[in-house]
Amino acid sequence: MGNRAMQNETLIFQARYLCNPPFEKEKELDFSRILEKRADEQAGEYGGDTAELDHELDAHIGALLADRFKDTWAYLLPDEQWYEYKNQRWDSPPGWAYEILNKIEEEMKGMGAAFTRPQRKRMSSQHLLKSVEERLRQLLKRARTVDSGLPFLNGVLVPHESGPLLHPPSPLWVCMSYAGIELDMCTPMTPIQKSFLLTLMDGDVLKLNLLRAFLRLVFTLDTWEQFSLFLWGPGAMGKSTLTALLEHILGERCESLDVSRIANRFELTLVEGKNLLLFRDVTRQPSNAAASILKRFLSNEGVTVEAKGTPAMSVKSGATPFLRPTGGGGLNYSRLIEWVTEKIRYDLGAEIPLGAKKVPILGSLYEDYILYVDANGIEPIPFNQFGDALDEVIRSQGYRDVVIRRRSIGRVVQGLRLGHGERIRKNKITGSMWYLMKTDPWPGFKEDKEGWERGGCETVDHVDSPGNVDSVDSADTLSSGEHVDGEEEETKAEGTLPPNLGPVLEEGQAVEAREGESLPNLTPPEVENTLKFLRQYPELKEAYGRKEVWTEDQMVQWSVSSIKVREALKEQVGGLYLQAEKAPPQTGYGLPPLLPSTTLADLPYSLSSQLGSGLSRLAATPSQYEELVNLLNE
């Protein structure tokens, strides 16, 4: 453009001497500005320093915006939708396609000072706005392909028609074996046959396969050796659902940490007795500090940690002592549950302060909790974790209308109060616990006068026979598929089961074979009893589906019946079925027994591949054998 000062003097000369009549002095500067703008427009149209930038203006602006929003905006293929990372998740809310155009326009207005007047004029046009949005689609696009799987235990877990497969990303990475699964290249993972997982994942088979592969390791309780799972992807993929489900199941044996806590000499007591560590929202960029810490921790370099009273030491991934419990540690959620059961009442119209960290608030929940733990000699939960722990307990019982809000006095809880009223009980169970109990309520979940408790598998010595069950007519109504209308029928149906459901009284014979001899066949009556019980399972599940929660008697009867049949089938199936071993004594959010071992719906993890060797010892007719196989595979 040349010397701008000399051009300005030339314009003033034109305004002063070339106009007839000449302008007054106070208008000379205004006229010079008009001529300057016209000169800029001519330079942009016919040549000059800014002409080249004008032709690539959309590409230049698109590159600037892509660099600014590369971590918060994404254009997903093949869905062809814009996603935004907000509130720790990727989401594409309704109308987001129009909203992103408004955001692009606002950003272009904000950077207008760096461009000339004609360029700013072009930046306000809808044509350039659309062109910039098209450029951003190309720069920020992300595709869901078979190669974008989940990094899993020094490898990448990818979906395949035969199940998830493991592919090492480089020859230097070594696949290891945990929980009896050989994690080698192209080795199918052993699936968990759980119908509630399919419901939880909204019928998405890809989500289901990735979830089952990880839960297979967690539910075997073989987590004293470390394995890792990276969850990466756009919003609505089930990442938060998976972590919330694992936290709910493992309870106090799960710990959520920031990656910086393992960066240098953090206290080992944070992970004492924990089966699962969660690191949330870690970016996948190699230059990120958190990613480099995890990479160092999962490689052979290790990280430096320390425990109180001991010198600092280096711990590597896979080191057994890192997660081995050295004593009771972590939050004692069971005491929180006892306090909730004893003191907290559900009242939708009530509102009560949550509490404060330093100055106690009279009548708040945390103050009452502190008084409770002091009276019982218990170490309390810190206030910064109290709100999340209380919300987890309440929501796990299905009270979705209980919320924590912020007020001028601090956080308050709507829907709860202290005193008399409706107890927090298991008859409101929905959500994740509903999925856990939908097809198979596990033994050990019981309710008494003092509240509820979820612990290990318990054996009940006696249960009434079907003849002692009340309201058999109502059970017939449920099993025949007819709906129960009216309060009387609904009350009458409660406490009943399908008519012929009862415990299998004849247990399987404990048979042994000498070396070199074949196992003796079991008697046909035992096979018939097993078939009789299994035939009623769909009927029972149908009745359970209509009634949100079983009564206590129904749950006990179903639990005992399943235990009896499980023991009877243990020898018949040849050890395929997981044994219902009694879990260590725990209360509250302690780990329940092995989830797949609580009902007959999941008999083995991979029944189809092992039925030949396991069921060959059944002394059944061909029709009985075929029926049993079909029932076990449902």
Domains in the chain, please, with CATH?
1-48 (no CATH), 50-140 (no CATH), 150-323 (no CATH), 333-424 (1.10.10.10), 460-632 (no CATH)
Reported confidence tier of residue 132, pLDDT bands at 50, 70, 90: confident
Cβ 333 vs Cβ 379: under 8 Å: no
Residue 174 CB contacts under 8 Å (≥ 6 apart), including other chains: 154, 168
Q: How does pLDDT run across 319-330, given as a tens digit for each residue?
A: 433 333 323 333
Residue 568 burial by Cβ neighbours in a 10 Å radius (0-12, 13-18, 19+): buried
Nearest to 536 by CA among 571, 567, 512, 500: 500
* Higher-pLDDT residue of 473, 89: 89
For residue 309, what pLDDT is reported?
A: 54
The residues with which 81 forms a beta bridge, in sequence order, are 76
Reported confidence tier of residue 299, pLDDT bands at 50, 70, 90: low
Supply angle C-alpha 386, 327, 595, rounded to 5: 70
Please provide residue 581's backbone torsions phi and psi, each rounded to the nearest 5 degrees: -75, 145
Cβ 451 vs Cβ 335: under 8 Å: no
For residue 152, what pLDDT is reported?
A: 34
For residue 225, what pLDDT is reported?
A: 43
Q: How does pLDDT run across 526-584, given as a tens digit for each residue?
A: 445 555 555 555 555 555 454 444 454 555 555 555 555 445 544 444 333 333 233 33
What letters, b where the CB count within 10 A reaches 16 and e where it falls short, cover 529-557?
bbbebbebbebbbebbeeeebbbebbbbb
Mean pLDDT of the chain: 55
Q: How does pLDDT run across 82-95, given as a tens digit for each residue?
A: 877 776 566 777 77
- Percent of the chain exceeding pLDDT 70 equals 26
Q: Which two tokens stand for residue 386?
A: 């109290």
What letters, b where the CB count within 10 A reaches 16 and e where it falls short, cover 348-364?
eebebbbbeeeeeeeeb
Query: Whole-model pTM?
Result: 0.24
Beta strands in 273-364 (DSSP E): 276-279, 303-306, 313-315, 344-353
Residue 140 CB contacts under 8 Å (≥ 6 apart), including other chains: 66, 69, 70, 73, 74, 75
* 107 pLDDT above the threshold of 80: yes
Q: How does pLDDT run across 392-407, given as a tens digit for each residue?
A: 777 766 676 788 888 7
* Higher-pLDDT residue of 437, 383: 383
* 453 pLDDT above the threshold of 70: no
